[in-house]
A and B are shown apart, each in its own frame.
Chain A
């Protein structure tokens, strides 16, 4: 047992660090303060950052060479992720495309689609989004109502998607639609690649709880998609979507990086704030710091176990859902301890650069993390049923034709 890189991993990590140093001037940094500036300028800078990294061989590390990747291991991808975090490079702008859309196109797309999309996706020439959730189908994804109807060699799409991260900057999306409402809900679905600039696509940013706008609602009004942009067979959309969701697990499965602000950040804040408290309040503050630290350490070292499994060639299984569940809970404890240490200084923000703003923004971001990519409750069902082997709830909605049911 050890926490060191193998000789191969150490050599690979050193190479990654050298490349990041070489290109340092061309990369956006989290602490550069550019974020608050012009959104369009920031988007261009983030696309440029990914292009530079792609040309340096640091994007799509575990993708095959045939599809423009580096034919590396998931462990090498995890090393790149760790080094990008260490270098304070923000999450790649095309992270949805790299983690979910791209692997789905690889698995179910035609050679022509591979040729058309993958290289540009890796370079962020095109940014991708994932058009799954709808107003009436969140956790119950297969209840979606957006329709696609075949007309000649084109499909006509009508409906609405929601909570679509990056749709406001995306060039393409993978779109799950209902093509046969007479079949049971999971059997009547079909997946497409949709051009986000096509006529009839309308993107409206949504303002989130914390005031930011990372996600959107997307409307489809008689949008035409060529049949050649179908991913998988008609009616096979659920199986294609499962590929996407499996890859989501791989994308979040590695590492041991903290989900929210780090324990080290909390330690820095606590060193400043705890001594200023009266002694009886110090006792309570230390309990909160201790509890948050223990939860975050437990999750960090559990992440190291997943990373070990990946570095031995394993794939994250359903148990990886526990990492997001516990990571969210730990991040909430850390954020809560930080905000409470700030006390009166946390009830309003003195500006984006002040420490209190950072902790409040993090606090306001975490409720979304407990919902996105599988709510806490859905993750508990996955672990309960697929890891512990507990029986699923009986469901009548799986077998009845979709249009005969309550649609809920």
Chain B
């Protein structure tokens, strides 16, 4: 498919980008508000065009373990879900991280806890960047704030996943998954040939030829001294990501006295709040986080030296703010403004919070 401009839902963009980016397999389980990902794939029938495998699993437990099995053969395998389903996948995610298997997972967050609501939320930040599953591990976590980014980040996710042999989490929410926007599609990247697969994944379980010893995919190491060495290797990989792979967008931050810090849907709202503030003569900027892990610590520390205060806007009770405060070393006033349980704040109330809590 050639490049074109189309109107589509965020979830649809994820599905179309998977096909276009040469994804080999998708395994999923329906859950609102992201079921359009699998629905789009099933309607598109990519197995007849690119050869991509699409399968509806019996549960999120099964789908994440199908990702494990398929991705461990060195193929590009992805899944998607929403908060309660992602909770079920945490076991699989820590195994994927522990076995260093590249793969892509999309979470269209909805309000919790428990079954919660099917409306958008951003209350899985802790789960996404602080572990979620057991053990010391990190998922490369990238947060789109538009349908276009939903599409583009799938391509970026494959690059990162295979560069670092690490799972990549595209962390979005029900609003971006469900909203329709224009989106530029890209030329198809063909799925890897057998030779390319072996070249990109020499560690993969694709059948042991006589020329190499057998490849083993496992996260088990009963000898603690070797497990510690392995964990040190993982940590070194995470430090390298922190050094090289931080992404963010600084809007009107050069002359700003005050800034919003936000990602995803909240960042979109803050863009409007910032416009309203500027119209009132308030020098307000926005630091839009794109990667949540690695977190833009240095950039926040630098900004904290220049501005008088920051307002963290999240559709949660206040999760990302902890990392912002740590990065800024609490050197300036930093407050949280959030709505949750599926409520999306208005630009006006966000600006009001900035004026009340930070500008005063």
B partners with A: no
Task: Identify the B interface with A (CB < 8 A).
Answer: none
Task: Identify the A interface with B (CB < 8 A).
Answer: none
